[in-house]
Every structure is written in C-alpha cells, then in structure tokens.
Structure 1
Amino acid sequence: MARIKKGAVARKIHFAEKRDAWVRHHRYLAMDSMKQMLKRPLSAALTWMVIAIALSLPTLMVMALLNLKQITGPLNEGAQLSLYLDKSVSANRAEQLAIELKQRPEIKGTRYISPNDGLQEFKEFSGLGNIIDSLEDNPLPALIVIQPVEETAATVEGLKIMLEALPEAETVQLDLIWVQRLNQISRIAERVVGVLGLILSMAVVLVVGNTIRLAIESRRDEILVIKLVGATDAFVRRPFLYMGFWYGLAGGIFAVIIVTTCYWYLHEPVTRLISTLSAGFIFESIHWWGALLVIVTSISISMFGTVMAVSRHIRAIEPT
C-alpha cells in the first residue's frame, strides 16, 4: 500500500511539474513573440492599421444600418391606406362612409379629413402659407384614413382592391409603399456589408499571412538549428501563432478606436439632422459587446492567416 501511495504521489508531482513547465513555456513564447514583433515597430504598426481599417469599415456600415432601422422601425408600425374621395361626394356622405367602413371586420379604425382640414394641415407642415392663402379654390379632395386590423402584405393589398371598387373612391394610396422600398434598400445594404466584410477579411488573411511569412524567413537559420536538435513543426509554430494573436488583438483594438472616434466626430451633426425627423432618435455607438466582437473577430481572422502561413512555410524548412 505504501508503494502504491508513493507511486501516486510521484505521478501527481510529475504531472504538476509538466503542467508548470508547459505554462512557463507558453508564457515565455507569448512575451518573446511580442518582443520579436515590436523589434520592427513600423512594420507592426502598418499591419495593425491595415487590420483596423479593414474591420472598421464594415463595422461603421453595420452601425449606420442599426441607426437607420431605429428611424424606419416606427414607420413600419401602423400601415395606413388613404382613400381619396371624388369631389362630387358630399361631406355628409363622406362622414357616413367613414362610419360604415369602420364597422367592417378587417378595418381597425377610420378618420375623416375634410378638404378644409387637409388644406390647413398642409399649410402648417409645408410652410407655404402665403402661397396657399393666394389660392382661389381648395384643390384637395376629401380623405378617409383607414387603419387595417392585419398589416400583412396580402391583407392590405386585398383591402386596397376593395376600397378602389367603391363608387365614391377616386384613388387609394398605401402610405407604407415608400417605407417598404426603404426596407428593401436596407436589406440590399446588409448584403453589401456582408460581401464587403468577407472581401476585407480575405485581405486581412493575406496581409497577416505575408507578414508571418516574412517573420519566418527572417528566422530561417534559427528554425533550421532548432529542427536539427529534434524540434517538431508544432514546437516551431508556437511563437508565430502567438505573433498572429498579438497582431489580431492590436488590430481589433485599433479598429474599435477608429469606430469610436468616427462616432464622436459624427455625433453632433447626425443627431441635429435626425432629430428633425424623429424626436426619439438616439445616435447609437458601438456597445461593449460589439467592441468585444470586433476584437474577437480580428483575432480569429489573424489566427486563420497565421495558421495558413506557418503550416505551409515551416514545413518547407528542413535541415539537409
């Protein structure tokens, strides 16, 4: 029993020593790879900035899309149809028609706007009071604003066809058409951001891969000596993998700095402009989780380029 206990203790001590040695080795490689990278500060800074710019461009576009959705989001709620009545329809008949339409199950509510009320609203919002006062006749027709119960495309389109068939109707307009077109443009922009992000990610992979390749070539003699004494490819790869990690980390941090700087530079003019269109608008910046995502993405892309470079070039360096 004593021998068994001594053997278990010896194995535990041996495992602890191997673990501590592994930790010390990786800590040394991490610090040494940073020192090797900083020996060429200009080259390192250029690589960091290439990564930062490549990541900041799609990040800024995503941030712009999120702020755009903040504006268009409320506009998507409450689809309305505007039923413009024929000028021959009397005011009493128009009011009665609004009441009749409100009683239909597919219609949630109606609001009758007389020609005089419509002209007054247009006068207030257009700022063309003097021109409107000079008109001899009121050119606006009577209007019934209709809010459907269901706002799906099929339901609203069917309701539009029903209203156009009314004898009092002159034309029916769906007030949400321009918002739907804006949403389509927004979806196209999202795909553009995705394609741009993919292209720039490939550029980062190539830049980091080329940088690591140059670092491998500069230490070619050192790698040959290490391999002569029995070092494996995995052992030789480790310092360069850490170097790729530092490139990605620094590039991601600089990308967050660029995005934050652009936000503060644009905050005042954008807020002043959009506040005239949407009272509750808040110009959103990148959140902490967004910044963390940018940094993690930068490290992942950089590590991918590093792995591709070291797997190819270190295998090709063999002592003869």
Structure 2
Amino acid sequence: MQYVYKRYGRDRAGIVATIIHYRPRSAIRDVGKALGLTEDVTARLADTVWGSYGSAVKDEHVDRAGVSRDDPRMALVLELTAELIRFPRHLSQHVGGFVLSEKPLIEIVPVGNAAMPDRTFIEWDKDDIDYLKLMKVDVLALGMLTAMKRAFRMIEVSYGRPLELHTVPREQKPVYDMLCQGDSLGVFQVESRAQMAMLPRLRPTVFYDLVVEVAIVRPGPIQGDMVHPYLKRRMERREAQAADRPFVIDYPKPSARHGPPDELKRVLDKTLGVPLFQEQAMRIAMEAAKFSSKEANGLRRAMATFRHMGTIGTYETIFVGRMVERGYDPLFAQKCFDQIKGFGEYGFPE
C-alpha cells in the first residue's frame, strides 16, 4: 500500500474512510457504560450475543446473562441499545480502498493523518466517493501474497526451481485429490472449517470448481437455499457421466407467452442451472424480472449498502412479483431474492 503513496504522492492519494456502525455487542457496552452498569454486567450481556448484525438484544440473552429484565435501569439499557444498533459509531479506514486525484486532495475532501506513519486518509466513505464520481481503486493487501513470495524464494533456494505466479503448474491432479479429501489447512480461501467440510461434497476437479467452492460458502447462496440444489446437480452429472448417459438440466423458465424456455440458460449454464454469483443475480433481475438498467443499478446500490441502510426490501415486491407474473415458479423467485439479500451481507462475483 505504501507503493501507492510513493507512486502518486500523499497529496493525491488517500485511503477511503469506512463508517463503523453499532452492532449489538458494541451498543450494549457503550450504553451500559453510559448508564453506569459495571463492566462485568455489560460483559456478560455482550458475551451472550452471537453474530454481528442483529437488530436487538433478545430476552433470552438477558436471562442467560443472569440479570433482571424488571430492573428499570436494565430496561432502559435494552431500549437504548435497540435504538442504537446500526447507528454510526466512528470512522475507520478502508482495508485497501484508495482515492486518486489529479488535484491535491485537500482541495476536494477533508484529509487526515493515519495512525501509521506516512499514511493519509480521507473522511468520506465509498458511497460518498461513488456519488461524487471520484476515482477509487481497491488494493488487494493480503498477507498470503507475501507468503507466496516467500514460498517461491524457498523453492528456488532449496530446489533450484524459479517460479512466479504465472509459471506455477496448473490443473495438477494431486492437488485436487488433496482438496477433495478436505486436506486444505493453510490453503488460502479454502482453509475454514466450512470450506473443509464442503470440499469433499463438491469434489473439485478443475479450477472453476474452486471458484464455485469459494463462492458457495457465503451468505448469498446459503440464504437463497442454492447450496444443496447445486451439489445435487453435480452429483447427478457425475452419475450421468459414469453411466455414459446424457445429463439434461431443466432450467427455470417463464410461461410460453412471456419468453423462451431457455431465457436463463446463458445466465445459469456454467453453474448447472443454479444461481451462485452476484452477476447471475443481477442478470436474473434484468432477464427474468425485466428490471431496467436504472432499476438494476438501484438494486446493486441497495445490495451494496444492505447492512447499513436496509433499502433492499423496496425491490422485493417488484422482483418477485414480476417473475411470478411472467410464469416463474414463486419459490424460485423468492429464493433468488433471498440470495440477493444474502449478497448484501457478503458475496462473491464470478
């Protein structure tokens, strides 16, 4: 990241701000502190809350913490905590988003010095930047890139084999055999427990399978209930190939008077008729729900700010209603939109 500052200068490059909003735990701690609760009480309450984006502290959380809901002060704490959740708390720095400008940044936006030396940040977030049409570049600042660089150096020193990213052998069967066994500890992107559990079920054999693997263990496909249908399709395809018989996909389709039966084939062909990626969700909105470019862009914006602004629900009736009106299965239409809401939490493009 320091390269960006050196290349473009701190006067024309700055890290974008990100707005940290209150979540249940942070809201409990701050409200409890303001109302004079002891640290052990607020800690017990906070420790009962799981997940980052709840909208309230539930009664069972209070009971589990061993405090009385009948206490007037505790009732006020819970009331104010519920009101505070999702309100802005403080500004932080984006993990890698830079604004680059032709003019000095101080002529355009408030600028501050970051805690780390030789770093500058601006006080506007990505939505402000998008609205003002300023140039934003995301820098992929991953420790794994450093680990790969060191690994290449060790391989060259130990085995005399110079390697770079573009010269690493691809599609090596032993690698896929290892992954199919769930043996992926330390393997970037597929080392979590959820990914380790998914690998033997998905059984990747080519690189695109890994693209799907990374994307499928995310809120979008999970909330849209697309994971099991996709795995079932893969199993059916393997069985068809083993039996040397054709594998036919029944793609979701509108009624005959509203469109051709293969309307979504181009959108869903690579993922066996099951939407998994953000681009597919947006294409379904345009192809199946007949969103205009303006509506699709509004949906994209709502999806990007779903955590904080919650405006995505305004599109649900339009999206589902139009698909059903055109003859699509209501359950499929609803699952598609549930998936879009999941992408608002976290999702992957193809």
Bigger helix share? 1
The question of a shared fold, defined as TM-score above 0.5 by the shorter chain, is answered with no
- The structure whose Rg is larger is 1
Give the number of the structure with larger relative contact order, counting CA–CA contacts within 8 Å between residues 6 or more apart. 1
The two structures have a TM-score, normalised by structure 1, of 0.21
The two structures have a TM-score, normalised by structure 2, of 0.20
